[in-house]
A and B are shown apart, each in its own frame.
Chain A
């Protein structure tokens, strides 16, 4: 079948979808606004729950997309998407118009901007960082404070920008708990003398081998898990971060002085996704991610025929789920193109 598919976004979902579509015999235009493909995965050091190097999955995706049927357009964004009969005319920022029989939107997520939780002082206090910043430190092999010294007492705040009515995100980002557990373990491995405290609302260990990792964090690595939300952070004269938190299991307020505070930034609909929604007329849901046609059996279908959704542009999901969702999107695209072909042939 000589069909063209445009895949928007070359993160995990987009690369998986593009690769599988190419294997199925379609000509694919893979559009990425960044200068390189790979998305957030490029910035992640180790993956949960098995602690494998993120580069291994990146390498798998890179090989998958090394296909003559895929044309990669990096540094390119989408300006317009027009629908005429069964063809989508996708105009890129370079002025090129790509005619597609189907479009896969895989615009992924943005990390919650932690500076919006003003009370934690991200962007203000020197030793308040995000989970993404910490991954960068892991990649560089240097876990250091602003003054270059290694931290000894580290706090990790869960649910930053997730399950938070104040910032308008009622949903759970799903991955922050297990990311916190994984990062806490890594911290203890890098800095064996350090003490690590996780401040959580609920431990949501809903994935395969997550609970086991959580148990290991406590039993093997001695990481303390304190059930309570940090109410505020501030900076002492010695540059240490002072936090206030309620230990809800003990039922008492708690103050603690930390060398480093790590904020587990949640996931939000990406700015790129919002733009695509606007230019294509795609519906978004209450949580601002793309609205799917059916939560149970139509999670790859949008409100527009011929435009499909893949990965974290519809909801927070881990890499395993993202890859599965992208493959499901490919299956939907194939069914759709087969049906349009049949209609054309009468």
Chain B
């Protein structure tokens, strides 16, 4: 492996990411799957990096999950997205930051469509006007929330309490990065590092002291794939996809998996349990599973946030062996107790409704 070859590709796929004043939109499903992640993002942005991040209470699903699940027509999806842009415009923001990879992909696809077919944009503006009376501006900057953390990875490293290093051996932790398909596979130029060798998570891993693992099925789907899971009869295929990845990464002995998509950590985490139940196979070391993290969780960990405030108790694969490996302090007793940390409750604010 020649890292210089990758660096040459990474240098070709850089994108503009704004410095501050973000209109943040949450994911439909992440709050159920990994409920601490989005809260951690807000805490990192507001409390650690002192950035202005705005959330609108009237934000809804972008409908991307239905669009890619073949149940929402594209005109409907575009009109829903137009409404989100209208909320951003009304709030006085122009830097749009979705938490969800599929949302990011859908927004990118729609903006590209409107760029090349202005008549479609006009049609959607009319739909929105007729339905809600709203108008909207095109975002000045569209960046996924992982792009934002990538942008500030050095600042986070400068404030870090922990690094991704095995405290016993001093060796960097081996980290598999898994990028959501809708991040850059559709529009490589819109993702940091492009589609074949994305750098958005690899950059965080490198900066925080870890070592990125490149394994043969790195590009393979996590197993979510929408219809693979949403259609119940296809779920065997979903597990098979995840299994393909685990089998491929296992020889590299990864310490953890890092993701930036709502579905990927869910399926890479949960299906390890299912495969263990079905076949008795585990893919981590010492008979354990490989812990799976979101980028917000990992950023929170290196910054010294309490693992249980980050919601790591919601993971199927126990994270404690990894926390011990890094030397992260935690209280086993508090794992399933209610959170009382004022730093966490501070971000539980709600924007004023505009309706």
Contacts and interface: CB of A to CB of B under 8 A. Distances in A.
A125 interface: yes
A123 B2 contact: yes
B1 A124 contact: yes
Contact of B1 (A118, A122, A235): A235
A118 B196 contact: yes
Interface in A187-242: 232, 234-237, 242
A126 B2 CA distance: 7
A124 B215 contact: no
Interface in B239-256: 251-252
A128 to B, nearest CB: 10
Q: Is the interface of B mostly helix, strand, loop or mixed?
A: loop
B194 A118 contact: yes
Interface string A112-124: 0001001101111
A242 B216 contact: yes
Contacts of B197: 118, 124
Interface stretch (B5-13, B124-132, B269-277): B5-13
A118 B252 CA distance: 23
Contact of B218 (A115, A126, A234): A234
B5 A234 contact: no
A226 B62 CA distance: 43
Nearest to B1: A235
B216 A119 contact: no
Nearest to A238: B251
A124 B6 contact: yes
Contacts of B2: 123-126
Contact of B5 (A119, A123, A232, A242): A123
A126 B1 contact: yes
Interface in B188-228: 194-197, 214-219
B contact residues, range: 10 to 19
Interface residues of A, number: 15
Given A119-B196, A123-B2, A237 B251 contact: yes
A115 B218 CA distance: 19
A121 B194 CA distance: 14
A309 to B, nearest CB: 32
A237 B5 contact: no
A115 B8 contact: yes
A123 B216 CA distance: 16
Contacts of B194: 118
Contact of A236 (B195, B216, B219): B216
Contacts of A242: 216
Nearest to B251: A237
B5 A115 contact: yes
Nearest to B3: A124
Query: Which of B195, B216, B217, B252 gathers most chain A CB within 10 Å?
Result: B216
Nearest to A235: B1
Nearest to B4: A123
A235 B214 contact: yes
Contacts of A122: 5
Nearest to B250: A237
A121 B6 CA distance: 9
A123 B8 contact: yes
Nearest to A125: B1
A235 B215 CA distance: 7
Contacts of B252: 237
Given A115-B8, A118-B194, A118-B196, A234 B216 contact: yes
A118 B9 contact: yes
A235 B218 CA distance: 10
A234 B8 contact: no
A318 B201 CA distance: 46
Contacts of A235: 1, 214, 216
Nearest to B214: A235
Nearest to B252: A237
A166 to B, nearest CB: 10
B237 to A, nearest CB: 14
B246 to A, nearest CB: 14
A234 B218 CA distance: 8
Interface in B260-287: none
A236 B196 CA distance: 16
A164 to B, nearest CB: 15
Nearest to B249: A237
B280 to A, nearest CB: 23
Interface string A267-288: 0000000000000000000000
Nearest to A239: B1
A236 B1 CA distance: 10
A123 B5 CA distance: 5
A234 B215 contact: yes
Contacts of A119: 196
A126 B214 CA distance: 13
Contacts of A118: 9, 194-197
B184 to A, nearest CB: 12
Closest 7 CB pairs of A and B: A123-B5, A124-B5, A118-B196, A234-B216, A242-B216, A237-B251, A119-B196
Interface of A: 115, 118-119, 121-126, 232, 234-237, 242
Given A234-B216, A235-B214, 12 more contacts: A115-B5, A115-B9, A123-B2, A123-B4, A124-B5, A124-B9, A125-B2, A232-B196, A234-B214, A234-B217, A237-B251, A242-B216
22 contacts: A115-B5, A118-B195, A118-B196, A121-B5, A122-B5, A123-B4, A123-B5, A124-B5, A124-B9, A124-B197, A125-B1, A126-B2, A232-B196, A234-B215, A235-B1, A235-B214, A235-B216, A236-B215, A236-B216, A236-B251, A237-B252, A242-B216
